[in-house]
Amino acid sequence: MKLIAGVDIGNSTTEVCIGSVGEDGSFHFLSSASRITTGTKGTLPNVHGIKAALQEAMDHIRQPLEALDLVRLNEAAPVIGDTAMETITETIITESSMIGHNPSTPAGAGEAAGYLIHLENIWKGKPDVPYIVVASNKFSYEEVAARLNQHIPELDIRGLILQADEAVLVENRLNRQIPIIDEVRHIERVPEEKLAAIEVALPGTGIRMLSNPYGIATLLGLDAEETKAVTPIAKSLIGKRSAVVIRTPNGNIRENVLPAGEINFHGTQEIRVNIDTGADTIMDSLHKAGEIRDIDGQQNTNVGNMLNRIKKSMTDVAAEGDHEARITDILAVDTMAPVEISGSLAGETCMEKAVGIAAMVKTKHLPMQKIAEKLEQELHIKAVVAGVEAVMAALGSLTTPGTRLPLAILDMGGGSTDAAVLGTDGSVRTTHQAGAGELVTMLIQTELGLGSRTTAEQIKKYPMGKVESLFHMRLENGSMQFFEESIDPRYYGHVVLLAPGEMLKVEEDIPMEKILEVRREAKRKVFVRNAVRALEKVAPDHDLRKIPNVVLVGGSAEDFEIPEMLTDALAEYRIVCGRGNIRGTEGPRNAVATGLLMSYLSNK
Amino acid sequence: MIINKPTVIIYTRDPDEDLLREICAGIEEEGVLYEIHSGKGDMDTLAYEAAKDSMLGSGIGMDGRRIAMQMARLPKGKNVFELNAPRFWQCRNLGSNSARAVKKMPFKPIYTENGEMSL
């Protein structure tokens, strides 16, 4: 009897599987284990992680490491993925012409128009002129209220703009009901003596007058030409709880298209496409270019730098003398990013258009042979490189109960989405596509405006809940969870992520519904689109309907919602698609390691 | 004591009036009502009793310049926030937080400097 190990080195984890082969060819799976990959996939530091994983698997069956007769390594797919983001519009306010934000507690309701006057100059005010008073935070709420009350009998005060968060406090001490906006951070930039319109929305609604061009025209007395000019202002104020629009002769708000650079496709055809044309045009151009030899980008743009960066990192790990790292696929996705408007008065943000791009580098092959030699040296066990990763994955996936040939696998990892079809005659077609888990993380981070990538990664991985009291939270599917011990007050009112064994707080104040929508949309944009793209490439005659089974494997197949999304999307093509269950026990993991053992048998 | 108004309750013993005023301003800005009564016992007891007696389940105990915010059904002494001889902005935010506890909104920072306002 012989003990054989299959070893799969992936981008993030190293998986091993151990089986025994009898003299009569009988075969049994005995044990498996998984460890984090040490170093970049396909480099010598991997040996450390392989040894640890082998040790763990052998411990399960109470055998020493030396009892192994043979180690079979996968020929890891020589691909590395990376992502970049290019913002293609920016919004600029000139001459401080508007304020539009969502202070948590403005006061009063309704709209008013008047000339701006700072509180310290209010004694200069003339009767019969309507005023909107501007007060910086050097005045306490009591001072503001007292000064206004003193002047209210002789002056026509219509509204108030505050720097401090004290709108309700001032309102409660004022003798007249006026709309009050607070939390205007850069109040010193508000110009004096200009005509301005102010509006505070009724509770539960957004503003109505200032988000309507004719509303602004009514309040500020604009003619048709001027009304046309304020339309972008009205548009950017839609949905806000409070707003100020200031009439300045040259003041405006405009959307700039930024020079985002170009991507060059070197394929059957040479095609050059500008990134600011959007994801659909980029993907169409990619399609038109035919068989892609290489892709590069304009120097000193985000995308150009990213494409150079992954080429370099691939050249670094590739075998000596093999400097031929080429980018063979990209995936572009349209997205929106909340960016602070330049020239803003209260930190207003505007959703800017952006394009997220994932790219994939391919080289001839990785120096797997060196890893095998090193392993043999250190363990004194024969080690061989056997079998291409995608083929082994397909073989291993065939152990999922309920599958038959022809069988397709979708291996969804962090950097790339790989597909393979194993035909009834044993033929295999494979493809590697750019865009997977890491692109999803980047989309989540951008669209929610998150400060850290780790938070985005966690949002992608874990379901959420909102802590509604110190003893219960509402989960994202609407159900409630109760606690015997009180929850730490730091979590109170926040959205938390339910990681195994702990709760992670989302620092940003974003409603749970919004996070849910962005998370699902990002996964759908990347994985559903890529799954169809990849399967079309490998399907017989490029017809999806000719594939009866798709088995999902790899890290992203363990996600709590991606497999369901794909099952749903592929049902359209009458494909049976679901998360793999290798050997009926392993779930979507260990497919390659299992395949390596199975291929040993068929080789004999 | 019979309470029938939806208020945050503040029980005090010999309170620092300036700090108390800031706490009240914080609650008021959030649009929540409050009432102040003098009580007996230490800070933990005052806060615990205040939260228990508040119809909204949110209370503050104040003993001189020591302040605690408490919520109903939490054990005595396990205060949500505690301040000792704080600065004005901390009191303002503690007041806001006692109101936010009622409104189920995230708390404002009251210990770290980055939440500081120029008060």
Calculate the dihedral angle through the C-alpha atoms of B13, B16, B22, B24, rounding to the nearest 10 degrees: 20
pLDDT attached to residue A323? 58
Query: How far is Cα B61 from Cα B80, in angstroms, rounded to an integer?
Result: 11
Pair A358, A436: CB distance under 8 Å: yes
Using DSSP's 3-state secondary structure scheme, residue A454 falls into helix
Q: Are A166 and B30 inside 8 Å of each other by CB?
A: no
Strand order in the sheet with A549-553: A428-434, A416-422, A407-412, A549-553, A576-579
pLDDT attached to residue A313? 73
From chain B, pick out residues whose CB is under 8 angstroms from the CB of A172. Answer: 28
Q: Are B106 and A509 inside 8 Å of each other by CB?
A: yes
Q: Is the pLDDT of residue B117 over 60?
A: no
Q: What DSSP element (H or E) covers A360?
A: strand A349-362
Tell me the pLDDT tens digit for each residue of A329-379.
889 999 888 887 777 777 777 778 888 888 888 776 667 888 888 888 888
Query: How far is Cα B58 from Cα A576, in angstroms, rounded to an integer?
Result: 55
Query: How far is Cα A409 from Cα A422, in angstroms, rounded to an integer?
Result: 8
Residue A66 burial class via C-beta count within 10 angstroms: exposed 0-12, middle 13-18, buried 19 and up:
exposed
Asked if the C-beta of B31 comes within 8 angstroms of chain A's C-beta atoms, the answer is yes
Q: Which of B28, B29, B98, B118 to mutate to test the interface with A (most CBs of A within 10 A)?
A: B29
Block residue for tokens 């996600």: A559
Tell me the pLDDT tens digit for each residue of A149-206.
999 999 999 999 999 999 999 999 999 999 999 998 888 888 888 899 999 998 888 8
Q: What DSSP element (H or E) covers A602?
A: helix A591-603
Query: How far is Cα A130 from Cα A470, in angstroms, rounded to an integer?
Result: 49
Tell me the pLDDT tens digit for each residue of B81-91.
999 989 999 99
Residue A127 burial class via C-beta count within 10 angstroms: exposed 0-12, middle 13-18, buried 19 and up:
exposed
The domains of chain B are located at 8-103
Query: How far is Cα A216 from Cα A222, in angstroms, rounded to an integer?
Result: 8
- How do beta strands A495-499 and A464-467 pair? antiparallel
Task: Report, at the CATH architecture level, how domain A96-254 is classified.
Answer: 3-Layer(bba) Sandwich (3.50)
Q: Is the pLDDT of residue B70 over 50?
A: yes
Asked if the C-beta of B28 comes within 8 angstroms of chain A's C-beta atoms, the answer is yes
Pair A294, A263: CB distance under 8 Å: no
Block residue for tokens 């993907």: A283
- Please report, for chain B, how many H helices and E strands are present, in that order: 3, 5
From chain A, pick out residues whose CB is under 8 angstroms from the CB of B106. Answer: 492-494, 509
Which member of A166, A489, A494 has the closest CB to residue B29?
A166
A1-77+366-401+583-604 with A96-254: one CATH topology? no
CATH number for domain A82-88+258-362, candidates 3.90.470.30, 3.40.50.300, 3.30.1130.10, 3.40.470.10: 3.90.470.30
What part of B 50-79 touches A (C-beta under 8 Å)?
71, 73-74, 78
Protein fold of A403-462+514-580: Nucleotidyltransferase; domain 5 (3.30.420)
Protein fold of A1-77+366-401+583-604: Nucleotidyltransferase; domain 5 (3.30.420)
Q: What ipTM is given for this predicted complex? A: 0.85
Asked if the C-beta of B100 comes within 8 angstroms of chain A's C-beta atoms, the answer is yes
The alpha-helical segments, DSSP class H, found in A242-364 are 279-288, 302-317
Residues 6+ apart with CB under 8 A from A580: A397, A400, A409, A551, A552, A553, A557, A587, A588, A591
The domains of chain A are located at 1-77+366-401+583-604, 82-88+258-362, 96-254, 403-462+514-580
User: B8-103: what CATH class?
Assistant: alpha beta
Pair A576, A549: CB distance under 8 Å: yes
pLDDT attached to residue A564? 92
Tell me the pLDDT tens digit for each residue of A228-281.
878 878 888 888 888 888 887 666 666 677 777 888 899 888 999 988 888 889
Entry pTM: 0.81
Q: Are A471 and B73 inside 8 Å of each other by CB?
A: yes
Pair A371, A44: CB distance under 8 Å: yes
Confidence band (pLDDT; 50, 70, 90) for B2? low
pLDDT attached to residue A39? 81
Q: Which residues of chain A have pLDDT under 70?
A: 77-78, 94-96, 249-255, 317-323, 364-366, 603-604
Asked if the C-beta of B104 comes within 8 angstroms of chain A's C-beta atoms, the answer is yes
Query: How far is Cα A170 from Cα A157, in angstroms, rounded to an integer?
Result: 14
Q: Are A137 and B118 inside 8 Å of each other by CB?
A: yes
- A106, closest residue in chain B (CA to CA): B29
From chain A, pick out residues whose CB is under 8 angstroms from the CB of B80. Answer: 470, 489, 492
Pair A457, A491: CB distance under 8 Å: no
